[in-house]
Each structure stands twice: as C-alpha cells, then as structure tokens.
C-alpha cells in the first residue's frame, strides 16, 4: 500500500444538554442495548464534552460529534454538525 491511510474516527449523535461553558458543549448520547442477564432492551446514556469553536449549538439541538485529540482533561470530541435545531421558546417577561 503506497498511499497513507488515515485512521477511522468515531462519530456519535446526541442531544445538547448544556452550553454553559465557553466553546464547550455537553452532549448526551443514548444507546439501546440488551441487558446482559435478562436480554431486555434497556437505554443507556452517557455525556460527552465536545468542542464548539463558533458556539453554534444550543440546548436541545440534535448534533453529530467526532472524536479528536484530547483538548483538555475531559474534552476529546469536536462538534461536527448540527443535525436538527431545537424549537425556540420565548421566555419574555412582558405581560402585555
């Protein structure tokens, strides 16, 4: 093989649950797996910290993240793209 092959990077799809940090989002990924003993399908959730350079993701958005080199102690994922936008809710304080 003369051509250099790049290693395959994992991607995950999940929902943004927090955007309170600068340039970082928390993405919750849910997967359905059979229980090891009872063979019933159960949902498992895990949270990943992902780098969001431009701050385009918002809470509730469905996003795709891709693994990258470690950027901090907890952050080894990067925002790839926003798949679906969450519905915007107006929380205006005016009572008119």
Reported as a single tens digit per residue, the pLDDT across 31-70 is 999 999 999 999 999 999 999 999 999 999 999 999 999 9
Total Cβ atoms within 10 A of residue 79: 23
CA distances from 36 to 33, 39, 46 (A): 9, 6, 18
Dihedral sign of CA atoms 44, 9, 75, 53 in order = negative
pLDDT at 95 (0 to 100): 59
- Mean pLDDT across the chain: 91
11-84, CATH topology level: OB fold (Dihydrolipoamide Acetyltransferase, E2P) (2.40.50)
- Residue closest to 78 by CA, chosen among 33, 27, 43: 27
Q: Report residue 22 CA to chain centroid gap.
A: 15
CA atoms within 13 A on the CB side of 42: 9
């Amino acid at each position: 093989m003369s051509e250099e092959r790049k290693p395959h990077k994992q991607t995950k799809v999940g929902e943004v649950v927090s955007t309170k940090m600068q340039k970082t989002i928390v993405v919750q990924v849910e997967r359905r797996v059979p229980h090891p003993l009872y063979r019933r399908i159960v949902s498992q959730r895990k949270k990943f910290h992902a780098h969001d350079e431009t701050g385009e993701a918002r809470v509730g958005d469905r996003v795709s993240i891709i693994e990258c080199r470690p950027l901090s102690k907890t952050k080894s994922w990067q925002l790839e793209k926003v798949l679906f936008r969450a519905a915007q809710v107006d929380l205006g304080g005016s009572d008119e």
